[in-house]
């Protein structure tokens, strides 16, 4: 997987090298590695330093819980069950300090998850995030209390052989990674101003 950057100043290799595989090897992911990922997440910035992120995870060795997490996924994400670990990210939707809605909660879960992804890259691991799962069922099955919402799921492991995937997953795995050009995303001083 190569990433084409638009700038003469190099993007950090951790950012360049991160991508989301669908094929995973059978290699296990250790508790120690997962702890390193969640530790990276823990140090993300957040509104009012609320740290509204929570994670529930299972390694493949913890068969029962791993299968429970796997059962939350939509069929199109079944490839994730080959990964070494699965997790659900969760947002605390109200501020600790006054109970008012924290409109930045999902934003901050995303920031924490971004840290987690880069730490995974540093360890030679890959994480594929998924919105395709049943969040209501996650809440019920995993005992997530009121005031918390399941945000996304992640598959963690080592990138495997794309040839092991059925179509159309194989084609997606081998397709070049694409991004919108900066000019569509970034404006100077005013909307759509170059």
Ligand X SMILES: Cc1cc2nc3c(=O)[nH]c(=O)nc-3n(C[C@H](O)[C@H](O)[C@H](O)COP(=O)(O)O)c2cc1C
Minimum CB distance to ligand X smaller for 3 or for 30 = 3
The two tokens of residue 57 are: 């995870």
Q: Is 124 in the site for ligand X (CB under 6 A)?
A: no
State which of residues 13, 45, 48, 131 lies at the interface with ligand X (CB under 6 A): 131
Q: Is 19 in the site for ligand X (CB under 6 A)?
A: yes
Contact letters (x/-) for ligand X, 62-91, by CB under 6 A?
Answer: ---------------x--------------
Minimum CB distance to ligand X smaller for 32 or for 75 = 75
Q: Residue 104 Cβ, how far from ligand X at the closest point, in Å?
A: 16
Q: Is 132 in the site for ligand X (CB under 6 A)?
A: yes
The rounded Cα 160 to chain-centroid distance in angstroms is 18
The two tokens of residue 123 are: 């360890």
d(CA 73, CA 12): 32
Q: Is 119 in the site for ligand X (CB under 6 A)?
A: no
Q: Strand, helix or coil at 64?
A: helix
Q: Is 121 in the site for ligand X (CB under 6 A)?
A: no
CB 17 within 8 A of CB 121: yes
What is the β-pairing status of strands 126-130 and 85-92?
Answer: unpaired
Q: Is 109 in the site for ligand X (CB under 6 A)?
A: no
State which of residues 129, 144, 155, 159 lies at the interface with ligand X (CB under 6 A): 129
Closest residue to ligand X, judged by C-beta, is 132
The two tokens of residue 27 are: 């290699």
Q: Across 4-134, where does the E strand assignment appear?
A: 53-59, 85-92, 126-130
Q: Is 152 in the site for ligand X (CB under 6 A)?
A: yes
CA quadruple 108, 110, 111, 113: dihedral sign: positive
Q: Strand, helix or coil at 29?
A: coil
Binding site for ligand X (CB under 6 A): 19-20, 77, 129-132, 152, 177
């Amino acid at each position: 997987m190569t990433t084409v950057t638009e700038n003469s100043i190099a993007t950090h290799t951790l950012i360049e090298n991160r991508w989301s595989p669908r094929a995973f090897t059978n290699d296990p992911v250790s508790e120690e590695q997962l702890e390193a990922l969640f530790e990276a997440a823990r140090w993300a910035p957040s509104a009012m330093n609320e740290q509204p992120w929570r994670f529930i995870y299972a390694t493949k060795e913890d068969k029962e819980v791993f299968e429970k997490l796997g059962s939350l996924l939509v069929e199109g994400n079944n490839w994730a069950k080959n990964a070494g670990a699965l997790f659900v990210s969760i947002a605390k939707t109200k501020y600790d300090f006054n109970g008012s809605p924290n409109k930045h909660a999902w934003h901050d879960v995303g920031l924490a998850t971004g840290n987690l992804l880069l730490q995974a890259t540093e360890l030679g691991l890959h994480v594929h995030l998924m919105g395709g799962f049943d969040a209501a069922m996650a809440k019920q099955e995993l005992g997530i209390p009121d005031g918390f919402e399941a945000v996304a799921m992640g598959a963690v492991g080592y990138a495997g052989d794309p040839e092991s995937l059925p179509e159309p997953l194989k084609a997606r795995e081998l397709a070049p990674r694409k991004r919108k050009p900066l000019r569509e995303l970034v404006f100077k001083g005013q909307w759509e101003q170059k």
